[in-house]
Amino acid sequence: MAEIVLTKENFETEVKNSDIPVLVDFWATWCGPCKMIAPIIGEIADEFDGKIKVCKVDVDEQPELASAFKIASIPTLVVIKNGEVKDMAVGYRQKDDIIKMLEI
């Protein structure tokens, strides 16, 4: 499954009401570490298709969502299950570390 671009309009449908865990990647186009982690996030989206949902939030385009999650640094990865934040990591992470976050 392709990564889903989150907006304040589709957040409730895609994240809050999701019946599978959601990995949300808060990023920006100008962020070097965000560019480094993007291919890893894409691989996870493909490998775990149907088991998790992978969403991306451009913090410059969606400041309300970034503010709601108190995002101070990017990239920030957030794992949400049943509408609740289960894990959060700030900064670049290796693929194995991200997968461990998803084992909730």
State the Cα–Cα distance between residues 9 and 95, nearest whole angstrom: 29
Q: For residue 35, give both structure tokens.
A: 């560019």
Q: Which residues contact 34 (CB under 8 A, 6 or more apart)?
A: 25, 27, 28, 74, 75
Q: For residue 21, give both structure tokens.
A: 């865990």
Catalytic residues: 31, 34
